Amino acid sequence: MKYSSLVFILIVFCNQITVAQSTSVSVIPEPVSIKIEKGKFIIDAKTVISVKPNSLPEVKELATTLSLWLANSTGLNLKMKPKTSGSDKSIRLEINSSLKDLKGDEGYKLRVTSTEITLQALKPSGIFYGLQTINQLLSVESVKGKPTQWSIPAVQITDYPRLGWRGLMLDVSRHFFSKEFIKSYIDQMARYKFNVFHWHLTDDQGWRIEIKAFPKLTEVGAWRVPRIGQWWSYEQPQQGEAATYGGFYTQDDIREIVAYARQRTISILPEIDVPGHSLAAIAAYPYLSATGEIYQVNPGSKFYEIQDNTLNPADERVYDFLDKVLGEVAALFPNEYIHIGGDECTKVFWHKSAPVQAFMVQNGLKTEDELQSYFIKRVEKILQKKGKRLIGWDEILEGGLAPDATVMSWRGMQGGIKAAQEGHQVIMTPADNTYLDLYQGDPALEPDTYSMLRLKTAYQWDPLPPNIKQELVLGGQGNLWTESVSTNRHAEYMTWPRSMALAEVFWSPKAKQNWSNFQRKLASGFKHLDAERINYSKAAFDVVVSTSLNDKNELIASLSTDLDDLIIYYTLDNTNPDSFSNKYTGEPIQIPAGIYQLRAVAYQKNNPIGKTLIINRKDLEKRAEK
Ligand code: ACM
């Protein structure tokens, strides 16, 4: 069954208890226009699903999907009818080529009255997104937990995306994630109308894609020694220690996942990260580096500029390797683009290598940046031969961009702006707004990582900077690097709800993005995730502390939460705070000498919510030093 996971999502969703509100509905991302009308469409035994007999097969398939999930959730086996009669209450799915105001293939119009639901679009992808919206609108009324009525509020929605590229990236190199989890992640993305899954398939800690021409890439490169603890503090592989931790996707797995994603209107962007971040490939084939040293795949211990993880741009065998690897990748992924990485390439080994330096002289390359640019341009030519276009991280600007390269801007938006000024396409994914591996709440309460990206920061940015040709910005993307993320549950926790915020940034018109409204919708969004048993972070309800020293060298603490409707209570006497404790007014507090600990918690509508933050003076002082 092709849409089985969507069906599953919809089944579990329908098991939750929500009651339709007549004044507001909660759809994430916010539609372009939504008009709430009186009444609701009640789904009952008389409801029929209707598609015209000459509809596209994809639309018929989507109708089947709808009938299956409604059967599973409501127990009603709704009839599928090509034509409806006056007495039928119908849910109609139809392609309508006259809907010019939908501005493209992904838009849809949804009209719900008490007798009819009409979902129209120019293309099946629009119907698919309309179904996601219906999914979020469906409500069940119940008595003592027993469903009594399934309904959808009467609305008129016109909807289409702001940006064409709405991506999420998952790093499967630092930790391997199973095929089943990748499918689940794709389902989760589809629900929020993401349409690109960027699959970071290779890095220093693992090569994850079967390449028939180079079997050692996965026989050797997909496995490393097992380690637990704090990333970068992992012990180096020991002499003779077995590399037992890892995994990879066979080419059959890849084809299965590509087809699965396609049915959910998601295209997959594969990334083969070169010329840096290549230690796993070099562990398999040491001739690929200029030093030719023999290494093991890195488990997450310090190795940068100590071990040579860069491909040798002066060796023709490297281009032959890439030609074969990218040939197989190109044949597996229908996407017009392949991402070739290009980031964080350390050049110290190129600098020290006599053959590499001689190659630079022969080719008139004055700096290692120019050598990197030479390499990327050669890779672009290889891709072009295979009918593909190149995307790289913004380091590919260094030494000059390849002629047709698209830049993924991660070190802020500056690289993207520069590339667009040079006429190149860009995808905005600035770390400060889109990196899902960062802390989303106070480090004292969150799993260990680095830097900070709070929910509000993910919500409040604009991937379309002024003063560049807006059409060159294909869109935006959230990126989940997994150095510190080893389990499915943790990957979900880091993804949601920040990616709900990103979904709205990428899909909804700027004028419809509204932080207050988004906060209101979170409650319903969390219920959906609960029903689907998908993990997410509630850090937005927790208190975050930042500190500084004033001009008298006194310790000053500022407290905040992401959500606006919370009140913070705190103590300085090592007791757990409640609503009788000090109320934080927004004025930073001075922590008197001798105070050992700050504790704080947030309240919402007179109820404690979120975790109690407990932080010692020593740590507060450390933060003030930073
Ligand atoms: C990156 O974060 N190195 C693209």
- Work out the number of other CB atoms within 10 angstroms of the CB of residue 590: 13
* Per-residue pLDDT reduced to its tens digit, 30-52: 999 999 999 999 999 999 999 99
404 shares a domain with 323 = yes
Question: CA 420 to CA 425: how far, in whole Å?
Answer: 6
pLDDT reading at 588 higher than 90: yes
State mean pLDDT over 270-293: 98
Would you say the CB of residue 435 lies under 6 angstroms from ligand 1? Answer: no
Q: Is the CB of 343 under 6 A from ligand 1?
A: yes
Report whether residue 344 contacts ligand 1, using a CB cutoff of 6 Å: yes
Angle at the Cα of 293 (from 288 to 295), degrees rounded to 5? 95
User: 362: which residues sit within 8 A by CB, 6+ positions away?
Assistant: none
Closest CA to ligand 1's atom 1: 343
* Report field, pTM of the whole predicted structure over 0.75: yes
Count the domains in the chain: 3
Express each pLDDT in 414-458 by its tens digit.
Answer: 999 999 999 999 999 999 999 999 999 999 999 999 999 999 999
- Residue 25 falls within a domain, yes or no? no
Give the pLDDT of residue 12.
41
The residue whose CA is least distant from atom 3 of ligand 1 is 343
**Number of helices and strands in the chain (H, E):** 18, 27
Rounded distance between C-alpha atoms, residue 141 and residue 556, angstroms: 50
Asked about 277 being catalytic, the answer comes back as yes
Token pair in block for residue 149: 């009525």
pLDDT attached to residue 15 = 40
| pLDDT tier for residue 359 given thresholds of 50, 70 and 90 | very high
Residue 559: phi and psi, rounded to 5, are -115, 145
User: Which residue carries 């080893």 as its tokens?
Assistant: 486
Q: Which two tokens stand for residue 340?
A: 């070739």
Residue 10: per-residue pLDDT: 43
Same domain, 336 and 436: yes
Confidence of residue 374 (pLDDT cuts 50, 70, 90): very high
Q: Ligand 1 pocket, 393 CB below 6 A? A: yes
Catalytic residue among 106, 159, 203, 395: 203
Return the pLDDT at 74.
80
Q: Which of 103, 134, 159 is the last residue of a domain?
A: 159
CB 305 near ligand 1, within 6 Å: no
Give, for ligand 1, the residue of 410, 429, 436 to mutate: max count of ligand atoms closer than 8 Å to Cβ. Answer: 410
pLDDT band at 626, cuts 50/70/90? confident
CATH, residue 132: 3.30.379.10
Q: Tell me what pLDDT residue 82 has.
A: 87
- How many residues comprise the chain? 626
Ligand 1 center from residue 488 Cα (angstroms): 21
Given a cut of 80, whether residue 84 has pLDDT beyond it is: no
With respect to residue 82, please indicate whether it lies within any of the assigned structural domains. Answer: yes
> 531, 554, 583 — which closes off a domain?
531
pLDDT (tens digit, 9 = 90+) per residue, 471-483? 999 999 999 999 9
pLDDT confidence tier of residue 19, bands split at 50, 70 and 90: very low
On average, the pLDDT of the chain sits at 94
Q: Characterise 136 by phi-psi region: left (phi > 0), alpha (psi -120 to 50), beta (else).
A: alpha
Residue 549 lies in a domain: yes
Based on the fold, state whether residues 272 and 350 are members of the same structural domain. Answer: yes
Active-site annotation holder among 235, 344, 404, 565: 344
Interatomic CA distance for residues 591 and 596, integer angstroms:
9
Give alpha helix (H) positions in 408-557. Answer: 414-421, 431-434, 455-459, 488-495, 498-507, 515-532
Classify 176 as helix, strand or coil. coil
CATH number for the domain spanning 554: value is 2.60.40
Range of the domain at 82: 33-159
Expressed in angstroms and rounded, the spacing between residue 556 Cα and the centre of ligand 1 is: 34
463 and 422 both lie in a single domain: yes
pLDDT of 597 strictly over 90: yes
Instruction: State whether 136 and 180 are in the same domain.
Output: no
Percentage, residues of the chain above pLDDT 90 = 90
276 and 191 in a single domain? The answer is yes
- Ligand 1 atom at shortest distance from the alpha carbon of 341: 4
Q: Which atom of ligand 1 is nearest to the CA of 277?
A: 3
Asked whether the predicted pLDDT for residue 2 surpasses 60, the reply is: no
CB 317 within 8 A of CB 324: no
Active-site residue, 203 included: yes
Residue 516, burial from CB neighbour count under 10 angstroms (0-12, 13-18, 19+)? exposed
* Residue 28 belongs to a domain: no
Catalytic residue among 277, 339, 424, 528: 277
Whether 421 and 548 share a structural domain:
no
Q: Residue 167 is encoded by which pair of tokens?
A: 């991506």
pLDDT band for 16, please (50, 70, 90 cuts): very low
Span from the CA of 412 to the centroid of ligand 1 (angstroms): 11
The CA distance from 35 to 494, in Å, is 33
The helix/strand/coil state of 504 is helix
Residues 146 and 192 in one domain: no
Same domain? For 524 and 558 the reply is: no
Q: Are 492 and 584 part of one and the same domain? A: no
Residue 71: the pLDDT is 87
Residue 261, domain CATH = 3.20.20.80
Residues 311 and 250 in one domain: yes
pLDDT digits over 101-147, tens only? 998 899 999 999 999 999 999 999 999 999 999 989 988 887 887 88
C-alpha to C-alpha distance for 159 and 156, rounded to whole angstroms: 10
Q: CA–CA separation, 505 vs 193, rounded Å?
A: 11
